[in-house]
Structure 1
């Protein structure tokens, strides 16, 4: 396959050195542990494996690294108690399984880390907790305090109350958002295969492991398949998407097999284990990353070709004169999609005016805003500091 050949032939000679150089700069790490890693064949929690991972994490914690864990496994741990042989089919079933399993999961972590004299703390989040700027900052302050006290935060989605409107979708996505939240320098994704392959190794015998991905292109995204698991919710595509998100903030991602004893320690010391995803050449600041990937857009602003050109190529603000129409109902301060004349989204930002107000002032000059509305918040529909070109 061309994809595999390009990555291997160009980058394999530099892979080991590059990893060590990247790891030298790392102090704070987010480690995402998937359900397939944490569970046994009978879908119960694998206490021995959790104990092994706790030992490896504790080793690096005592060496001065700050580590945050994003852990799946609550639903898988609790579903047996409900008599479910497969993944819960309804939201109430999932919420009930999570309510039972979360305490089991935390007890397993507490017991595993207690053997290394390290304490852990539980944080349950919904997308709303990170989309609200004040709660976002409060969550970061809580995690910073825990890390300062030598305690390892263990984060999971609050599945007991979550609904589609406020759910992260999967813990791969959550781990990417947490990496931005805590300003970590590395994301490590523990899964049940050895890394990123040129094709699905479960179905394609010719699939080859790619140790280094220099850029997440469309070819890389196409090579990522879906989930083959009845336990977890994320497949390779969601892991690649998470690596792409953290890469936009200048952070690398390591994807490794979490079921292989010692793999985490080998990976964090620079051995060529799993797949290393390099960050994007240009990165977003933390606020723009939050706008692009944490906030949920609630409407669309369609702009003309001239405005698209100015926004995409020159980093300007969106003015009323460039707006063709507005779709959806939203208030001032909402996150909205910015789309070209063909309806394709190319940017995202926080609107300085509501949809009702934009309907009145679109296509007009900024100097006319106060005359039309009777007041003005500013010249821009979206200021450039609140606009992200995707």
Structure 2
């Protein structure tokens, strides 16, 4: 069965001319392909770079600026120009588009995360095509390498897409850099993202883009761990989006994990910010990691940080120092401290429904990138 709900991520290098300016011809090609897929019954989301590329020329810059403030100003001008291009072309096919600007805070805050999910669901159900980008004008942290690769994976996971397509200027993951090693071979199907895969993906992207293959592997990790398969392919083909939607043979296809994380668990694993630390004994560590149990107060050895009721905290094995996962606490720091000191610690501190174990794959995501 072909993927019905697809998230496409199009990078700056797939939207620009050689001088770094926005290519209207490339935008027209992308919107034409989106229209064909839309008319065929697909639900589509486009995560698009290109705001800075669309705006820097209008501000008098001769080339893509390097300073953060100059990038933000260019994005402020370019965001409207870029959306205007997409909107005008899609309206020719009587397709409504919608602009959504997100930052990492929109994923970290549970209420904002739910609001974004609900808005996207309504747009898709109404036949609109959401066009998403980082809110580059006001963000600093988000203007980092690979931001829209990660963003597209977060969006694909949020809406439980059937496929995430990362379009770039190379046609997949290779065993070595194909530009310098003629013996490099493309990996057609990737079942698990291992340290070896990450090592193969090392290196930078093109001059106009902000992401390399490494950030795409990070995005693939987030998506596949959430149950969404990922296809990395070249945007240089004339009908790249159409080919990616209907067959995944000319790129690298990442198989989704069978037990993909649901929305609540995704939020806990990838976005929720820890407000403290809890150290537990070996019995509690085994109950959490191996037996799928809740964390009882009786298993707590030590606590750190001034967390409150229902905050998210990270739990560690006191003996090994290893991170076990994250969860939502049922008591604040002061209450837990009092109970531990009085040796009357009873009850559940973190319910298993509010807990996510840090698997080797998720741990790899945060330690190797």
TM-score normalised by length of structure 2: 0.88
Mapped partners of 1:164, 1:41: distance in 2: 27
Q: Which moved more, 1:262-271 or 1:60-69?
A: 262-271
Instruction: Say whether the 8 Å CA contact 2:157–2:227 is kept in structure 1.
Output: no
Instruction: Say whether the 8 Å CA contact 1:82–1:97 is kept in structure 2.
Output: no
Matched, 1:76 2:44: no
Q: Residue 220 of structure 1: CA displacement?
A: 1.4
Matched, 1:128 2:96: no
Mapped partners of 2:26, 2:212: distance in 1: 21
Give the aligned partner of residue 209 of structure 2: 232
Q: Residue 354 of structure 1: CA displacement?
A: 2.7
Give the aligned partner of residue 284 of structure 2: 307
Q: Residue 44 of structure 1: CA displacement?
A: 0.8
Give the aligned partner of residue 16 of structure 1: none
- Give 5+ residue unaligned stretches, structure 2: 359-369
Within-5 A mapping of 1:266-281:
266-281=243-258
Matched, 1:60 2:37: yes
Mapped partners of 1:29, 1:361: distance in 2: 50
Aligned length: 356
Q: Residue 209 of structure 1: CA displacement?
A: 1.0
**Could you list the runs of 4 or more consecutive aligned residues of structure 1 that deviate by over 6 angstroms after TM superposition?**
165-169
Mapped partners of 2:179, 2:300: distance in 1: 48
Matched, 1:387 2:355: yes
Mapped partners of 1:291, 1:161: distance in 2: 25
Q: CA-to-partner distance for each residue in 1:302-349, whole Å, 9 max, x for gaps?
A: 223322222111111122232232333333222222222343323122
TM-score normalised by length of structure 1: 0.84
Matched, 1:156 2:124: no
Q: Residue 126 of structure 1: CA displacement?
A: 1.8
Q: Residue 84 of structure 1: CA displacement?
A: 6.4
Q: Residue 170 of structure 1: CA displacement?
A: 0.7
Closer, same or farther: CA 222–124 of 1 in aligned 2, 3 Å: same
Mapped partners of 2:159, 2:271: distance in 1: 14
Matched, 1:351 2:350: no
Q: CA-to-partner distance for each residue in 1:359-387, whole Å, 9 max, x for gaps?
A: 4445887x535xxxxxxxxx222211111
Q: Residue 203 of structure 1: CA displacement?
A: 3.9
SS in 1 for 2:348: coil
Within-5 A mapping of 1:22-101:
24=1, 26-80=3-57, 81=59, 83=61, 85-90=63-68, 92-101=69-78
Mapped partners of 2:169, 2:191: distance in 1: 23
Instruction: Say whether the 8 Å CA contact 1:336–1:350 is kept in structure 2.
Output: yes
Q: Residue 86 of structure 1: CA displacement?
A: 4.5
Mapped partners of 1:139, 1:101: distance in 2: 23
Mapped partners of 1:309, 1:84: distance in 2: 59
Mapped partners of 1:174, 1:133: distance in 2: 16
Matched, 1:173 2:141: no
Higher share in helix: 1
Matched, 1:204 2:181: yes
RMSD: 2.4
Q: Which moved more, 1:203-212 or 1:163-172?
A: 163-172
Mapped partners of 2:104, 2:149: distance in 1: 13
SS in 2 for 1:314: coil
Mapped partners of 2:183, 2:339: distance in 1: 58
SS in 1 for 2:56: helix
Mapped partners of 1:51, 1:166: distance in 2: 26
SS in 2 for 1:204: coil
Give the aligned partner of residue 373 of structure 1: none
Give the aligned partner of residue 109 of structure 1: 86
Q: CA-to-partner distance for each residue in 1:113-169, whole Å, 9 max, x for gaps?
A: 233232211011122223333322222222222223321110111111224399997
Mapped partners of 1:64, 1:258: distance in 2: 22
Instruction: Say whether the 8 Å CA contact 1:127–1:167 is kept in structure 2.
Output: no
Give the aligned partner of residue 7 of structure 1: none
- Give 5+ residue unaligned stretches, structure 1: 1-23, 370-378
Q: CA-to-partner distance for each residue in 1:163-185, whole Å, 9 max, x for gaps?
A: 43999971111111111222211
